[in-house]
Structure 1
Amino acid sequence: MKSTFLFTWLLLISCFICTAQKKNYIGVETGAYFGNANSNIESGMVSSGFGDRQTASFLGLFTIDTEYPRKRAGKTSYRVKYGHYLNKKTAIEAGFGLSYHGTVEGYDEKNFAQSNYLTLTSNIHTLYIAWVKTDSLGKAGFGIGPALSFYKLSADINQGTSRETTNYLLPGVMIKGFWNFLSYPSWFLGMGTELSVTAAAKINAIKITTPTSESTFKSTKAGSFNGNISITAGFRF
């Protein structure tokens, strides 16, 4: 009788622990991002004369034309986030991760003088704190809060002849939404989207000087917004 009572008591405690609301959660996100840094820099390349066509001839048999500027985004976003539930429908969440990566290549043709190349690479990591509202089951919700973007701009001049790096801190705001298509008391799996709007980075003019030529990338602004669509997974505790 005593053993039966003890077993029943332990079973009730286990059920309570499994079904009680968890107070915290940790999650990871990864997905595809978008933003305007590459487009801003591409416009700056064109207005600064780095939008020429490069023609390469191979033994006079054939030629290859390359149009500049060329832009590409080569990485996926990732983020680690932590949240604390204030009640069943409200949480405070903080997160940090890579929110944007992009590269723009420019070429300034100088005919008989030395032509110049300029490659600008943007890496943006974002830190945010958000006020998150969810439904009672924690399956869907939205959040808003302050954000701070760490923008690292790397300049490669004439294909590695010299390199420069500049860092910017860009304050702003972040909004997000999510839907956990699998949501259990101890873990969740879903998808989400977010948008960060920040101050733009002011990129100073970059002057390239060689013994036979000179090119200047004019000062421009870039990186005032970025966002992503991602898959998210995590556990509650």
Structure 2
Amino acid sequence: MPQSDMSPERARLLELSRERGVSLSSLSEMIGRNSAYLQQFIKRGTPRKLEEGDRGKLAQFFGVDQNELSGTMVKGNSYNAAPSSTESGFVHVPRIDISASAGPGALPDDEAPFDTFRFSQRWLEEQGLSGANLSVISVEGDSMEPLLNDGDEILVDRTPRAFRDGVHVVRLGETLMVKRVASAGAGRLALLSQNLAYPPVSVAVEDVEIIGRVVWKGGRI
């Protein structure tokens, strides 16, 4: 089906996938569907509309309002009112209104994007992050100082990857934290603070969920 003959939501999804440089099959697998799902949606019109959950996952990945993928775009949406995500050479990464505690812990509130950060597509490629599942959240507390300060914003790579030691956002119980995570042997992980006033915490692998790896930070001087 020529792009000019597609419905607006199909054309928009195809446009976004090309801009981000990620295949439709990869996007299909990301939302938990078979690899041909989005190809069939765009080229054959099956299904007629994406389910709300699928639209939400895709919208978060691309940093756009999910109405862009439903054919009912609403003017004046809040977080996507910044520079257009169609701007050549740039990717708009969603800012999520939650904090990962660098102290004793913080509970996540609303995980809906409220804004975006614009990153160079070339820079993302140089960092091995082209097509990655990225989001930006803030840091709360002082346990990761001087590496990460209270109020810093961090770019989190949430793409499923083999674990390696490094700075990660993790969920322990109902608490979201940013820590340096290291293998501790015998099925355990060490959650390490940069600030030596905070002692290491040892946890069983099955008790902690690794949300994503911290790959960039930004903050005020």
Pair member with larger Rg: 1
Q: Does TM, normalized by the shorter one, top 0.5?
A: no
TM-score range, shorter chain: under 0.3
TM-score (ref. length: structure 1)? 0.23
TM-score (norm 2): 0.24
Higher helix share: 2
Higher percent of residues as strand: 1
